[in-house]
Amino acid sequence: MAFKIVRNDITKVKADVIVTTANPKPKCVSGTDLAIYEAAGKEKLLAERKTIGDIERGEMRITGAYNLNAKYLFHTVGPVWVDGNHHELEILERCYKLVAFIP
């Protein structure tokens, strides 16, 4: 199967996997993260996310997608930009590499 990138409302995409930015703590507060939780079924997704616990920056974890039209959600935690001298690019690069090598 070919790899395909789709630009659309992420909560309406039909896909095997949806990759999303994640909060390091198991919570959803605003933006895309909140939209995904609400579309997926906030209580169930948050409960599964809490079983994972904290996710370090540059790391990724997998949960079910629940009410989304996907099989899985890949939660990646990117860097907080300071000034470019605090390993921000390396952390971001790790997020992309982790997602790219999932079988």
Span 68-76, average pLDDT: 95
Span 48-70, average pLDDT: 96
Does residue 1 carry a pLDDT above 70?
no
Catalytic residue list contains 33:
yes
* Total-model pTM: 0.84
Among the options 16, 33, 54, 83, which is catalytic? Answer: 33
Select from 67, 59, 77, 79 the least CA-distant residue to 22. 77
Residue 53: Cβ-neighbour burial (10 angstroms; 0-12, 13-18, 19+): exposed
Write the pLDDT tens digit of every residue in 28-56. Answer: 888 888 999 999 999 999 999 999 999 99
Q: Could you give the CA distance from residue 58 to residue 95 in angstroms, rounded to a whole number? A: 5
pLDDT band at 103 (very low <50, low <70, confident <90, very high): low
- Looking at residue 58, the DSSP 8-state letter turns out to be T
Mention the CATH class of domain 10-100. alpha beta
Tell me the domain boundaries of the chain.
Answer: 10-100
Does residue 88 carry a pLDDT above 70?
yes
